[in-house]
Amino acid sequence: MTDYTPAPDLLHGRVVLVTGAGGGIGRAVALACARHGAQVILHDRSAKLLEKIYDEIVAAGSPQPAMLPLDLLQATPDACAALAQTVEREFGRLDGLVHCAAELGALAPLELYEPVTWMRVLQVNLTAPWLVTRACLPLLKKSPNASIVFSSADVGRKARAYWGAYGVAAFGLEGMVQTFAEELGAYPALRVNSLDPGAVQTPLRAKAYPGEDPKTHPLPEDIAMSYLYLLGPDSRGISGRAFSAQPGNKVPVEYVESASL
């Protein structure tokens, strides 16, 4: 099956936390979740980045969202535990967690990579997602149908020169997805998958490829349905897998590494 049209109430009654919701793919995913009935918890570095999308969701008549600002560079275990406690206190549950926040860092050879940049990128792209997930797992385990989606990248599945800490962190995310899926096997209602959005018109893409025409790529809204598929009940039972997004209303395609000749 390639065509996918989610039901209007696909996520009705569900509470979904989206990191990096202030812009790009995170914003598109948060809006799509709200449009399909979810109560969305919006995360980004500061409340100012979230106020506009908050207002958009309310104006559309979707369930009222919440804002939980947290700078992932400062995402200590205690800060992430406090975030999860706030979710539990305010909502009493969590049914979905989508990791969309990302830091590109520098495109440079590993031998020349600046250690400060390396540590910043690994913190935002790998360590913070682990800490947030770890803190939220007790809530997710209580859900009758929960899903965690890590936004990954093709450079985390097949190495490419000069992608530095960003590529290494994406490889780490893929390993974390597989490990979580194995360890959470006793919780069949909780699934964990990765999704490579592909080339999309985002600020991060423009920073990585400043010379290309962004209009040759889909908008974040065009690939949001892939996230909805993995978040909603239609993907029940699918866990520990790596997917790639497809533009338009289509289910994501499972990534299969090409065999070496």
What are 36-79's pLDDT values in tens digits? Answer: 999 999 999 989 989 999 999 999 999 999 999 999 999 999 99
Indicate which residue of 54, 113, 166, 227 is catalytic.
166
Instruction: Check residue 171 and give its pLDDT.
Output: 98
Task: Give the residues of the chain that fall short of pLDDT 70.
Answer: 1-2, 258-261
Q: What is the 3-state secondary structure (H, E, C) of 5-53?
A: CCCCCCCCCCEEEEECCCCHHHHHHHHHHHHCCCEEEECCCCHHHHHHH
- In the 8-state DSSP scheme, what is residue 235? G
Question: What is the pLDDT, as a whole number, of residue 258?
Answer: 52
| Residues paired with residue 146 on neighbouring β-strands, in sequence order | 190
Q: Are 53 and 42 in contact (CB under 8 A)?
A: yes
pLDDT score at 261: 34
Query: What pLDDT sits at residue 4?
Result: 81
Token code pair at residue 101: 């926040």
Residue 199 CA to residue 183 CA, distance in Å, equals 31
Alpha-carbon torsion angle 237, 149, 198, 202, nearest 10: 150
Domain locations along the chain: 15-252
Q: Given this model, what pLDDT does residue 123 score? A: 98
Question: Does the annotation mark 166 as catalytic?
Answer: yes
How many CA atoms are closer than 13 Å to the CA of 180, on its beta-carbon side?
28
How many Å apart are CA 79 and CA 47, to the nearest integer?
Answer: 16
41 CB contacts (<8 Å, ≥6 apart)? 15, 16, 17, 18, 65, 66, 67, 68, 87, 91
Sign of CA dihedral 138, 139, 145, 151: negative
pLDDT score of 1:
38
Q: Which CATH number fits domain 15-252: 3.30.70.360, 3.60.15.10, 3.40.50.720, 3.40.50.1000?
A: 3.40.50.720
